[in-house]
Amino acid sequence: MFKGHPKGLYALALANTGERFGYYTMLAVFALFLRANFGLDAGVAGFIYSTFLGLVYLMPLAGGMLADKFGFGKMVTIGITIMFAGYLLLSLPLGGDTFAMLAMLAALLFISLGTGLFKGNLQVMVGDLYNDPKYAAKRDSGFSLFYMAINIGALFAPTAAVKIKEWAELSLGYSSNDAYHFSFAVACASLILSIAIYYIFRPTFRHVEGGKTKKGEAAVATEQLTPEETKQRIVALCLVFAVVIFFWMAFHQNGLTLTYFADEFTAKSSEGIQSMLFNVWNLVLVIIGVYAAFSVSQSESKSGKYASLAVLVAVVAVLVYKALNVSGSISISAPIFQQFNPFYVVALTPVSLAIFGGLAKRGKEPSAPRKIAYGMLVAAVGFAVMAFASIGLLTPDAQAAAGDAAIFVNPNWLISTYLVLTFAELLLSPMGISFVSKVAPPKYKGLMMGGWFVATAIGNWLVSVGGFLWGGISLTVVWSVFIVLCLLSALFMFVMMKRLESATK
């Protein structure tokens, strides 16, 4: 699974892991912070939240255009510096007045601009590592591993956000609103780690940083395309961009309406074996067990197989022991549900790679556009789970006014929804990024990767639709909106499949 990839992949993936940990720590509590600190209603908080997400994914367009001219590595360094300034400003507890609001908006602008320079260009560099013919066949699996590393950072983010906030309240005596800023401060530390990793391991990927070639460095050969081929590829990419708009509109409800659902409609406590799922270290043990199991079958030496088997047995023994001795109940904080998506990504990536690797050996692996279409179908199923879970529930407005008559559902509904949506994400996001890096004309790689993020940005702006629907409308109607959009997007992909697949040949 990890063999046959360029060394630079792991360096760039780790650098991105640190940055994503800080970003998702901030994002895990951001929507709740807006409502608690500034007294905003769900719609306004959702608009600010989705606008910020939109900017985060819009700015890579400008970042890609600059990188095509000045080099990807230079933009990455400048971007992470600007991001640091934004997180530092956001971490200051300035209260809830107009000045604090303006400072927060300025911080969000810095973060989105810095991310625009950093995120897309780092991914272009990852793609360019696979331009070498000896790595070309590993491109899709390389982006799956890269995506997995991102989610390792995201896995710990919700727990970090909640625990640091609680520590600031209980140990330092900060008010609930001011304590949120300590969660934001984590991002500053994570960016320092990220840039350190980037420069320590820079020799493994310096050749794909772009910009002017220094004396003694080899130039990277680029593919030559006719104007017609260039046009064909750009059109194919734009068709994919149109579809992913609606995926991200639906998927990023995890930080908005799905978090609202966790906060307002989901039981506030858990007990028994289910309670183990809310401890991130138990999830880490499961991940270790999954990778140990794959290592048992894939290791080329007997000693490696035995070592992996020993790890697997130890993990199972620890989990069984903990399950047999679990007692009492634990309280559940709404942001903690956001740990399940990255957990599933990390745990299921080797499963995904094994499935598609097996299909590839038999010549039956679906193309990247086809995987994206399947991803949209699976996303529709995820929101169908939510629609089923919401049958018989009150509207959000009625739930808020119900008092003791309020109805709460089992946390397993959200946990299951995140599982299904993660299957969709694994089919769509890493495959989409891989498709862009492969199909984009060499002269426009930064611009086209920026285009992927522009589509994501538009989708993120549309996330606010969920916030504005949240109130007096039946929850089944809210979730049905996303079901219909995902199904229509999948249908569009299948209709355009021949044109999309011809661009990859």
* DSSP track, 46-101: HHHHHHHHHHHHHHHHHHHHHHHHH-HHHHHHHHHHHHHHHHHHHTS---SSHHHH
pLDDT single digits (tens) 154-167? 888 878 888 888 88
Token pair for residue 322?
Answer: 């903990």
DSSP secondary structure code for residue 409 in this structure: B
Residues 165 and 237 in one domain: yes
pLDDT single digits (tens) 470-494? 989 999 999 999 999 999 999 999 9
Locus of tokens 């043990």: 285
Residues 239 and 286 in one domain: no
Token pair for residue 142?
Answer: 């390389």
Q: Does the pLDDT at position 286 exceed 50? A: yes
Helix 257-264 vs helix 412-439: crossing angle, to nearest 10: 170
Residues 453 and 471 in one domain: yes
Q: How deeply is 296 buried, as exposed, middle or buried, from its count of CB atoms within 10 A (0-12, 13-18, 19+)? A: middle
pLDDT band at 216 (very low <50, low <70, confident <90, very high): very low
pLDDT value of residue 2: 66
Residues 199 and 71 in one domain: yes
Residues 25 and 90 in one domain: yes
3-class SS at 269? Answer: strand
Instruction: Using the 3D structure, point to which of 289, 308, 331 is the last residue of a domain.
Output: 331
Residues 100 and 162 in one domain: yes
Comparison of pLDDT for 175 and 217, the residue scoring more = 175
Q: Does the pLDDT at position 213 exceed 50? A: no
The number of folded domains in the chain is 2
Token pair for residue 361?
Answer: 């050996």
Residue among 399, 414, 153, 398 nearest 270 (CA): 414
CATH classification of the domain holding 443: 1.20.1250.20
Write b or e for each residue in 84-122: b if 16 or more Cβ atoms lie within 10 A of its Cβ, otherwise e. bbbbbbbbebbebeeebbebbeebbbbbbbbbbbbbbbb
Q: How many CA atoms lie within 13 A of 460 on its CB side?
A: 20
CA distance 36 to 141: 42
pLDDT value of residue 476: 94
Helix H or strand E encompassing 108: helix 98-129
Average pLDDT score over residue span 114-123: 87
DSSP secondary structure code for residue 394 in this structure: P
Residue 116 CA: distances (Å) to CA of 58, 90, 135, 315: 7, 18, 27, 40
Instruction: Using the 3D structure, point to which of 316, 331, 346 is the last residue of a domain.
Output: 331
Residues 303 and 352 in one domain: no
pLDDT value of residue 214: 47
Least confident of 117-121, 184-188, 211-215, 345-349: 211-215
Residue 310 lies in a domain: yes
CA distance 347 to 115: 26
C-beta neighbour count of 496 within 10 angstroms: 18
CA distance 335 to 332: 9
C-beta neighbour count of 368 within 10 angstroms: 25
Residue 220 lies in a domain: no
CA distance 353 to 362: 14
Whether 499 contacts 239, CB under 8 Å: yes
Residues 232 and 288 in one domain: no
Residues 469 and 481 in one domain: yes
Instruction: Using the 3D structure, point to which of 313, 331, 349 is the last residue of a domain.
Output: 331
Whether 468 contacts 396, CB under 8 Å: no
Residues 194 and 315 in one domain: no
φ, ψ of residue 269 to 5 degrees: the values are -145, 160
Beta bridge partners of 271: 329
Global pTM reads 0.78
pLDDT value of residue 222: 54
pLDDT band at 505 (very low <50, low <70, confident <90, very high): low
Residue 439 lies in a domain: yes
β-strands 329-331, 269-271: how paired? antiparallel
Residue 215 lies in a domain: no
pLDDT value of residue 99: 93
Residue 221 lies in a domain: no
Q: Which amino acid is at 191?
A: L
Residues 100 and 148 in one domain: yes
Token pair for residue 15?
Answer: 């650098």
Locus of tokens 């880490």: 284
CA distance 118 to 64: 9
CA distance 41 to 26: 20
Token pair for residue 315?
Answer: 């993990």
3-state secondary structure 332-360: CCHHHHHHHHHHHHHHHHHHHHHHHHHHH
Residue 216 lies in a domain: no
pLDDT value of residue 94: 87
Residue 209 lies in a domain: no
pLDDT single digits (tens) 429-454? 888 888 887 888 877 877 887 788 88
Residue 20 CA: distances (Å) to CA of 115, 130, 154, 226: 10, 23, 6, 38
Q: Does the pLDDT at position 185 exceed 80? A: yes
Which domain, by its residues, includes 276? 271-331
pLDDT single digits (tens) 350-402? 888 888 888 888 888 888 889 999 999 999 999 999 999 999 999 999 999 99
pLDDT band at 301 (very low <50, low <70, confident <90, very high): confident
Q: How deeply is 215 buried, as exposed, middle or buried, from its count of CB atoms within 10 A (0-12, 13-18, 19+)? A: exposed
Whether 34 contacts 46, CB under 8 Å: no
3-class SS at 471? Answer: coil
Residue 2 lies in a domain: no
Q: Which amino acid is at 353?
A: L
Beta bridge partners of 330: 270
Residues 196 and 305 in one domain: no
